[in-house]
Each structure stands twice: as structure tokens, then as C-alpha cells.
Structure 1
Amino acid sequence: MTHPKTPHVVDARYMGPPEPFVRTMEMLDTLQPGEKMLLLLFREPHPLYRVLRQNGHAFESELLPDGTFEILISR
């Protein structure tokens, strides 16, 4: 899947836990400094936000009309 915001996308809308978290952390490990990834979910991942903050990652969350949360995460 490609996206205009970044080529690094985890579409976790239909994944069960803990797969979205695992896939997100795996992709973050592959990013170079300054690169971004996009996580797509149907729920807001408050536990993930805590982990991202603790590890120094910036992120922006946007709720789309279809109920998808787009979380853009910076390395």
C-alpha cells in the first residue's frame, strides 16, 4: 500500500492485538532518522502513544470520516 504522506504504511485496521503494535515497532526499527511511517487503525492506540513518547518519537493523529485513525509517526 502506498500513501501520499509516506511509503511506510502499516494498515492494521483488520488486525487483532498485539499484531498492530508488533508491526508498528518492527517498521519503526527499519526507518532512518527523519523518516515517517503511517499507522491505520479503527481505534485510537493510547498505549502505543505512551510507548512512542517514552522512545522519543513524535506523532500526529487524525480521525478520518470513515472512522480510520491515521497516526503519522516520525523517527
Structure 2
Amino acid sequence: MSHPKTPHVVDARYMEPPEPFVKTMEMLDTLQAGEKMLLLLYREPHPLYKVLKQNGHSYETELLPDGTFEILISR
């Protein structure tokens, strides 16, 4: 899946926990400094936000009209 914001996308809208968290952390491990990844979910991942902050990542969250949360994470 490609996206205009970044080629690094985890579409976790139909995954069961903890798979979205695991896939997100795996992708973050592959990113180079300055790269971004996009996580797509149908719920806001508050536990993930805490982990991202603890690991020094920044993120922006946007709620789309279809109920998708787009979380753009910077390494």
C-alpha cells in the first residue's frame, strides 16, 4: 500500500491486538532517521502514544471522515 505522506504504511484497521502494536514497532525499527511511517487504525492507540514518547518518536494524529485514525510517526 502506498500513501502520499510516506511509502511506509501499516494498515492495521482489521488486525487484532497486539498485532498493530507489533507491526508498528517492527516498521519503526526499519526506518532511517528522518523517515516517517503511517499507521491506520479504527481506534486511537493511547498505549502506543506513551511508548512512542518514551522512545523519542513524534507523531501526528488525524481522524478521517470514515473513522480511520491516521497516525504519522517520525523516527
TM-score class, shorter-chain normalisation, is: over 0.9
Q: Which residue in 1 is equivalent to 2:57? A: 57
Q: Which residue in 2 is equivalent to 1:18? A: 18
Matched-pair identity in %:
87
Question: Using the alignment, how far apart are the partners of 1:8 and 1:46 within structure 2?
Answer: 21
1:39 matches 2:39: yes
CA RMSD in angstroms, aligned pairs only: 0.1
TM-superposition CA deviations, 1:18-41 (whole Å, max 9, x none): 000000000000000000000000
TM-score if structure 1 supplies the norm length?
Answer: 1.00
Q: Identify unmatched segments of 5+ residues in structure 2.
A: none
> 1:49 Cα deviation (Å)?
0.1
Does the residue aligned with 2:65 lie in a helix, a strand or coil?
coil
Q: Which residue in 2 is equivalent to 1:27? A: 27
TM-score if structure 2 supplies the norm length?
Answer: 1.00
Q: Which runs of 4+ in 1 moved over 3 A?
A: none
1:70 matches 2:70: yes
Question: Number of residues paired by the alignment?
Answer: 75
Q: Which residue in 2 is equivalent to 1:6? A: 6
Q: Identify unmatched segments of 5+ residues in structure 1.
A: none
Question: Using the alignment, how far apart are the partners of 2:4 and 2:24 within structure 1?
Answer: 18
